[in-house]
A and B are shown apart, each in its own frame.
Chain A
Amino acid sequence: AQSVTQLDSHVSVSEGTPVLLRCNYSSSYSPSLFWYVQHPNKGLQLLLKYTSAATLVKGINGFEAEFKKSETSFHLTKPSAHMSDAAEYFCVVSDPWAAGNKLTFGGGTRVLVKP
């Protein structure tokens, strides 16, 4: 079984300051991990993915995430927040060895960016 815990349901940052969104996963295998973003009244957009290559993964819009197996974590960071980063972010796990491709989502972290 696989599960994902996003440690903060809400994060508030000032524009231009760093953003840290925390994610821990539980899995009986070496997982594939993703971060998706959902802007208000929009669908989900892929930010980045980890699939057992480099542990530091760079994504779109300046985001990056680091896979730490010893800590079962996959935290998302951005050095400088923009107003356009205000959205909900989802950490997602998938079993790369499964015949199907069920995505298991964390509960989401809503990011507020203050001017």
Chain B
Amino acid sequence: DSGVTQTPKHLITATGQRVTLRCSPRSGDLSVYWYQQSLDQGLQFLIQYYNGEERAKGNILERFSAQQFPDLHSELNLSSLELGDSALYFCASSATSGGGVEQFFGPGTRLTVL
């Protein structure tokens, strides 16, 4: 158990809908990261927040947004969902914001868009 929690574990929804994925980092970690794992794209970095501020951004679609709250939990919002958004979404956390630091991953949220 990494100490990173994600809810829900599974999510099934329809095209065009909006969903929110939630992540709580390990105790004491200030950075939160979001990754998408799909069969065709593999594991891809979406976005990083550090102590409430956006720190790094990957190939995150404009339909996706994230935020980190004062209690350090984070939410990833996915809107206007398409079939291709079906994937496993991981949250990770680390103590600091800089590069080269290991990240601790949650169990993931499996999103299925029908």
Contacts and interface: CB of A to CB of B under 8 A. Distances in A.
Nearest to A33: B100
Given A95-B99, A96-B98, A45 B107 contact: no
Interface of B: 2, 4, 31, 33, 35, 42-45, 48, 55-56, 58, 90, 92, 94, 96-108
Nearest to B96: A101
B94 A44 contact: no
A101 B43 contact: no
Interface residues of A, number: 26
Contacts of A34: 102
Which 3 pairs of residues, A with B, have the shortest CB-CB distance? A100-B56, A96-B100, A32-B100
Contact of B99 (A49, A96, A105): A96
Contacts of A46: 102-104
A39 to B, nearest CB: 11
Interface string A40-64: 0011111001010000000000000
A82 B101 CA distance: 29
Given A32-B100, A43-B108, A102 B48 contact: yes
Nearest to B43: A105
Nearest to A95: B99
Contacts of B94: 101
19 contacts: A43-B108, A44-B90, A44-B105, A46-B103, A94-B100, A95-B99, A95-B100, A96-B98, A96-B100, A98-B56, A99-B98, A100-B48, A100-B56, A101-B31, A101-B94, A102-B48, A103-B33, A103-B35, A105-B43
